[in-house]
A and B are shown apart, each in its own frame.
Chain A
Amino acid sequence: MLDIVVLGLNHKTAPVELRECLAFSKNESAAAMETLKKYPAIGEIVVISTCNRVEVLMTTANTPKAVDAVKTYISEVKNLPISQFEESFYIHEGDMAVQHIFRVASSLDSMIVGEPQILGQIKEAYAAATNKKTSGVILNRLMHKTFFVAKRVRTETGIGDHAVSISYAAIELGRKIFGSLEGKKVLLIGAGEMAELAVEHLIRNRIGSIYVANRTFKRGVELAKHFNGKAIRLEEIPDCLKVVDIIISSTGSPGFIIKRDQIKGVMPKRRNRPIFFIDIAVPRDIDPRINTVTNSYVYDIDDLKGIIDENIEERNQESLKGERIIEEAVITFWQWYESLDVIPTIVALRNKFDAIAENEITKTMQSLKHLSDNDCQAIYKMTNGLINKILHDPTLFLKSNGCQGDRSAYLDITRKLFKIDE
């Protein structure tokens, strides 16, 4: 009987330097699948490689040999002695392998629990495997089940809720203040990766006009062009405060750029429409006392980090529910997998035929009451003989090596053909 094996490393077992060295590009993993599939010890294979993990999922009749083959292959392709990475590798076999792959796809094993990319990456890896025809009955079924489980975990638990990045946390807050962000005007003061990322997220939420203020006007114009906005000079900020709803600030200024009195003065002109400051700068740009002005809200980088920590904690809580869903799924998958063994299938097939015969004989006998006991015995005997003859060839075929290596496929078909799984 084949075994399911996962061999791999992830962010918990290997430092980033090693993961960089071992990561497979799309072409590399396709090539790896194709080459490894030809090894006699390896049945089906899917290679998953992301920036946080390299996983080789395979079926094998000889686990140690298959594991060695994969390790040697990686060592050759990546030009790295096995001893350098061997310790970072983990091996899961059987139902533990199934559980592992379910957990990875459901993002319970991710660096940030609940991040949604991993499922897409696994789908891509599987698509490449089907393309190269390196996956078969078992891994096909396993991968489909994996996608199903991952989706279930995402919809039935809250692991994907609540922002865990600064820019998403800021946007979530904006939604709690403004409802929809559609048409809201944004002022970006200064520049910086995080601030620009936040603006990009905002644009995806269909905000209105964008103003960009920068110490060097030229840089401001460039950024404004990038965001399809309007560049303004720093002196124009006070005027701008009358119209904008969201201010993202990220300058290197040592003092506050916007002070409380300024906002107090501008609120009547805004007709008290709410204003939301996102202060990503260190030291801070926005006077924190602005938060005490009615209808204005200030969040600095620490506040946002605080929210994120809370959210991560909440996701971890939710992941416990995910584990339960996965445990269930592992059990059902494993039941199916074990049924692919030859003997249980033959027994089940035989039972099914016996049951049918039994049923039919009982029916027939009811209208043949005049038959003697001997006659009845003869009918029983004949039925039995029929079943034996009918099942003789299929049984031999399933038991023999006639179905070259891919016995599980024939077993699966047999079970489907005769509907034995119900």
Chain B
Amino acid sequence: MEIVIIITILLYVLSTAVYFAYLLFQKNYLHQTGFYLLAAGFLCHSAAIGYVFFKSGIVPVNNLHETFATAGWAIAGVFIIFKYKYNLKILGVYAAPLAAVVMLIASRLPVEPEHVKSVFNNIWLVFHAIMLLIGEASFAIACGVGIMYLVQEHAIKTKNHGFFFKRLPSLELLDTVGYASIVAGFTMLTIGLITGLVYAKTVWGRFWGWDPKEVWSVITWLLYAALLHERLAVGWRGRRTAIMAIVGFVVLLFTFFGVNILLQGHHTELIKF
């Protein structure tokens, strides 16, 4: 299995390099190659995760190493879907290195021996983890698109068309993709939180435990809910949405890491996210 993961990382890194070349030289064949490399990496990665799942019946999210690796898989997957739907080529310049870096970090983290407790063998938990990771990957994409939006808007507003102006797509497309990825992320986050609650009920007999992770997850959820509400109610778009997507992702990262490091709760006890 080790070798498949190494190939996966290699493909992600190669894809990153090719996408950077695309950023510089703007040749169509470059982004196509980059995309195929990433897609190949994603297939390898899926095979690895599927293999583990069918062998032991668990989703590899039991420790930081596995969670990172699965997060990398989710980022690649979500990117492939968005690229396919919106043909936002330049997004690869953000997504490919992100997936590569996440995988490289994962490979440096200690692989702890598998100590599968019965609490992990639960369909709700599988759902909970997978949905949240896909949601978080969508938010990561939203954050990247938000950054691109701000860069492009800055170029247009200041009338100083530099390196990025011609390389980035229209504000409208960036806004649309950003919005779509937030909607996707929010849906996944909601499902992930609900399944988490149901899981908590089945294991601990209660829905809600004021665990810091739970509290922060709800704060994140409220933040994105507010963003979507403003968009639907008063038509928030463009710059504000982009900034909110970035802020939201920072909060999300805190929920993902910060809470585990700074605060104690049952998620950390189980060395799990």
Write the residues of chain A forming the contact surface with B, with a CB cutoff of 8 angstroms: 162, 173, 175-180, 268, 270-274, 291, 294-295, 297, 299, 303, 306-307, 310
Contacts and interface: CB of A to CB of B under 8 A. Distances in A.
A176 B237 contact: no
Interface in B2-58: none
Contact of A310 (B161, B172, B236, B240): B161
Interface string B116-137: 0000000000000000000000
B209 to A, nearest CB: 40
Given A274-B171, A294-B240, A176 B156 contact: yes
B236 A297 contact: no
Contact of A177 (B170, B234, B236, B237): B170
Given A173-B156, A297-B156, A303-B159, A179 B173 contact: yes
Given A178-B170, A178-B172, A179-B172, 8 more contacts: A176-B156, A177-B170, A179-B169, A268-B235, A271-B234, A294-B238, A306-B159, A307-B161
A268 B157 contact: no
A294 B239 contact: yes
Interface string B164-178: 011001111100000
B67 interface: no
B152 interface: yes
10 contacts: A179-B171, A179-B173, A271-B237, A273-B237, A294-B238, A294-B239, A295-B239, A297-B157, A303-B159, A310-B161
B172 A177 contact: yes
B89 to A, nearest CB: 14
Nearest to A161: B166
A167 B161 CA distance: 17
A271 B152 CA distance: 21
B156 A177 contact: yes
Contacts of B165: 176
A184 to B, nearest CB: 10
A192 B156 CA distance: 25
Contacts of A272: 234-238
B155 to A, nearest CB: 8
A197 B238 CA distance: 30
A24 to B, nearest CB: 40
Contact of B157 (A179, A291, A307): A291
A177 B172 CA distance: 6
A5 B236 CA distance: 66
A133 B161 CA distance: 50
Interface string B47-76: 000000000000000000000000000000
A299 to B, nearest CB: 7
Interface of B: 152, 156-157, 159, 161, 165-166, 169-173, 234-240
A295 B161 contact: no
Given A175-B170, A176-B171, A291-B157, A268 B234 contact: yes
A177 B152 CA distance: 9
Nearest to A269: B235
Q: Which residue among A268, A270, A271 has the maximum number of chain B CB atoms within 10 Å of its CB?
A: A271
A299 B157 CA distance: 9
A280 to B, nearest CB: 15
A198 to B, nearest CB: 18
Contacts of B152: 176
Contacts of A295: 237-239
Contacts of B239: 294-295
A303 B158 CA distance: 10
A173 B152 CA distance: 11
Nearest to B157: A291
Nearest to A173: B156
Contacts of A294: 238-240
Nearest to B241: A272
Given A273-B235, A294-B240, A295-B239, A176 B170 contact: yes
- A-B CB proximity, top 3 nearest: A271-B235, A179-B170, A179-B172
A93 B2 CA distance: 69
Contacts of B161: 307, 310
Contacts of A176: 152, 156, 165, 170-171
A1 B152 CA distance: 60
Contacts of B159: 299, 303, 306-307
A106 B159 CA distance: 31
A295 B169 CA distance: 16
Contacts of B166: 162
Contacts of A173: 156
B29 to A, nearest CB: 13
Nearest to B175: A274
A231 B111 CA distance: 72
A178 B174 CA distance: 10
A272 to B, nearest CB: 5
B240 to A, nearest CB: 7
Contacts of B157: 291, 297
With a 10 A CB-CB cut-off, give which of A176, A271, A306 has the most chain B CB atoms: A176
A163 to B, nearest CB: 11
A180 B235 CA distance: 20
A97 B169 CA distance: 43
A179 B152 CA distance: 13
Contact of B171 (A177, A268, A299, A306): A177
Contacts of A299: 159
Contacts of B238: 272, 274, 294-295
A272 B179 CA distance: 14
A274 B171 CA distance: 9
A179 B175 CA distance: 10
Contacts of B235: 268, 270-273
Contacts of B172: 177-180, 274
